[in-house]
Chains A and B, each alone.
Chain A
């Protein structure tokens, strides 16, 4: 579906919904019409911009031509003739889905829509867990198992005073644990002499993968134990059954417990939850990687997507360690229900999550560069709302801003020299928010100068709305990067979020920049 909307039951459900929307079927965009009738082409339910691909969509263009006032032929450039669409009736296929709606002026033979499709996005990775997915039974101070801290004093240890005790992870996606690492304390008597590694797909029925007995340790030792290949599973745990000093009646102390994916590499599944999506490009031949780390800090009510992008994807490496990645941009979300909107094609997703009354924008994927593809072959943009991985939507930080008018540093763009550069229009100087003159990357026209002077424009003289391309610029190195795809700056005078601006036969939904609603703080996303 090109223009999508939904209600997510928390940030993990948002990931589920995005994954389904992106990866379960292809997408359609680039609607064009020429003809006499003034009807519309919409999604199957009549939603503006809701036309959608299917499970078998490929990169091709459909020509939808009126045979008479009520009937259209549907011909794909690769699929050929796939049937006829009737006005007012949803057209369904595995390649493309839409509905043509009659207007006040009837269609005549020869009236023609064109619509392009792209294949489904693919899920390259979904695994790991955050704080909410790490569990233990029988361990005191169990957060010490996962904190990455090792020492020789008691405050680094987590103790199970009675055995058996267990600790493990419930992940956002199934993965194969092939190694478990245990770090003991300097009290060798409390080291685990016996334990077993178990897995589960429902979190309640567990199966043993391997058991270890009579294990001997030195003081404060970190040791990996192999796990056989038992497939991909959502839940994994280590059940401690005996200690060195007391056997099954003893006490076990552990400093760190780690679950590694695969037999090589350093990908620790207990560290964080992450996913990697790959967009196919509008030609279906690309792999545009978008990495998402899920961040959670329940005490701070922080639940976020932290986006990364990278040109190539190493399956043995965590998202944040991928080569030449963009660095993170944060999109604060919620554990409660929230509404979201997104426009998708084969190259990018641009959307907004509404957390309470705050509109949190994001743009992930390729933009529209001013250079030729031979000069700027991978024009990627990673845009969230800041570079603080623990961001919250209730923030009033000057840097908490979206792509139309970003702060430090919620927008990073990849330049022709393969360098990711941040863009910032505003920041906090002293006690007041002001234009960011120190960052060479700027976003026009929300900023009109290198010093980040804010746009002070309102609507046209006749009251009609104006949509401006959102242009990325840099003065060091000097370069005009190009534009965001399907996103527009619009002056915010007399404008409210979720209002539609109809222009060039498209609806454009208006949003404000996070919590801000001054003239320079509005943008619109084309529903196409």
Chain B
């Protein structure tokens, strides 16, 4: 089964359900149990030689009211070593998805096989009309290189004036590089990290954020139109026709820095696209040829003042039955 929907009681239950979904889709579980050194569960999985750790985190972090818990967190590593721990061989930083309030309205799990590896994505409706995203997988790669594995998580900054500002850099948005780097705020937030080895460095991880000194930078998305930012800003701005109503599904191209202000395309996530939701509602199905895609907002479609709003930004996920 590569699509599943249901309800979860809390983040621990959500992660357990995701574990069963991954097992049903051929993923191997290295560890499932209590998280080492934290509040929550740890799910450590691998497939096709790519290793991921996903954690639930029930810590509410009342001191950080703008990025409140409970959380879901994810990281990528080159192999598996320590049960339940976020310290793994060649591990990336944790990417954190925020504010998984209980009880959750619904979850949607998607899984499949891309041309270069498998993927599994979760979309969670935390409050009615408000969504969170977290995923693992391997890019549909452009060119042959070691890597392609990625993980992502959505965090949404809750401060007044920011919570309904879709382009604010305080938000960590999957496959978009306009989020501030975790390293500058000293706690995990959302975003995307991709492995793409070159230049003799292995593993080489690329964080899609506004950081300028990463190893080196990753690039993707639509929220920032400055130099060396974004890859799909132009189609996103034109992406829902007022002539016909149609909104094409746009591949989430990712790139890495090559020096001399030039970049190389490394691919896009399979089974996941950007879509403008001007004329669509959350959860709406989008038939495309023989495929069916399901559309969700980045966090919440056009939320009212004071409410989370990601405008018309949305993701479409390929639904395989």
Interface residues of A (CB under 8 A from B): 370-371, 375-376, 415-417, 442, 444-445, 447-451, 453, 456-464, 466, 471, 473-475, 477-480, 493, 519
Q: Could you tell me the distance in whole angstroms from the C-beta of B194 to the nearest C-beta in chain A?
A: 12
Output the least CB separation between B276 and chain A (Å).
9
Which of A447, A453, A460 makes the CB contact (< 8 A) with B142? A460
The residues in B between 253 and 278 inclusive whose CB is less than 8 angstroms from any CB of A are 255-256, 258, 261-266
| Binary contact track B11-53/A, C-beta < 8 Å → 1, others 0 | 0000000000000000000000000000000000000000000
**Complex contacts, A477 vs chain B, CB 8 Å:** 241-243
**Residues of B contacting A479 with CB < 8 Å?**
238, 241-244
Choose among B144, B196, B256, B264 the residue with the greatest number of A CB atoms under 10 Å from its CB.
B264
User: Taking A457-B263, A457-B265, A458-B263 as contacts, is the C-beta distance between A447 and B143 under 8 angstroms?
Assistant: no
**B244 and A375: CB pair below 8 A?**
yes
Verify A461–B238 contact, CB threshold 8 A. no
Q: Interface segment, B57-65, B83-91, B173-181, B223-231?
A: B223-231
Q: Contact at A471–B263, with CB atoms within 8 Å? A: no
A residues in contact with B244, CB < 8 Å: 371, 375-376, 416, 479
Q: Is the CB of A457 within 8 A of B264?
A: yes
Residue-wise interface mask of B (134-178) relative to A, using a CB-CB cutoff of 8 A (1 in contact, 0 not): 000000001111000000000000000000000000000000000
Cα distance A456–B263 in the bound complex, in angstroms: 6
What bracket does the count of chain B residues touching chain A fall in?
20 to 34
Interchain CB contact under 8 A, A457 and B255: yes
Report how far A477 CA is from B258 CA in the complex, Å.
36
Cβ of A186 to closest chain B Cβ, rounded Å: 56
Write 6 A-B pairs (CB below 8 A) sorted by A numbering.
A375-B244, A449-B234, A451-B225, A460-B142, A461-B264, A480-B239
Are A417 and B243 touching (Cβ within 8 A)?
yes
Contact (A371, B246) CB under 8 Å given A449-B230, A461-B198, A473-B235: yes
Partner pick for A471 among B196, B225, B235, B266, CB 8 A cutoff? B235
- Residues in B with CB closer than 8 Å to A459 are 143, 264
Residue contact A460 to B264, C-beta cutoff 8 Å: yes
Would A458 and B262 count as touching, CB distance under 8 A? yes
The reply to whether B225 and A449 form a contact with Cβ atoms under 8 Å apart is yes
Q: Given A450-B234, A457-B262, verify A464-B144 contact (CB < 8 Å).
A: yes
Decide if B241 touches A461 in the complex (CB within 8 Å): no
- A462 pairs with B262, CB closer than 8 A: no
For the complex of A and B, 6 pairs with smallest distance between CB atoms? A460-B143, A473-B238, A479-B241, A449-B225, A461-B145, A462-B143
Tell me whether B248 is interfacial, beta carbon within 8 Å: yes
Tell whether, in the assembled complex, residue A478 and residue B264 are in contact, meaning their CB atoms are under 8 Å apart.
no
| Shortest Cβ gap from B292 to chain A (Å) | 18
* Chain B residues within an 8 Å CB radius of A370: 246, 248
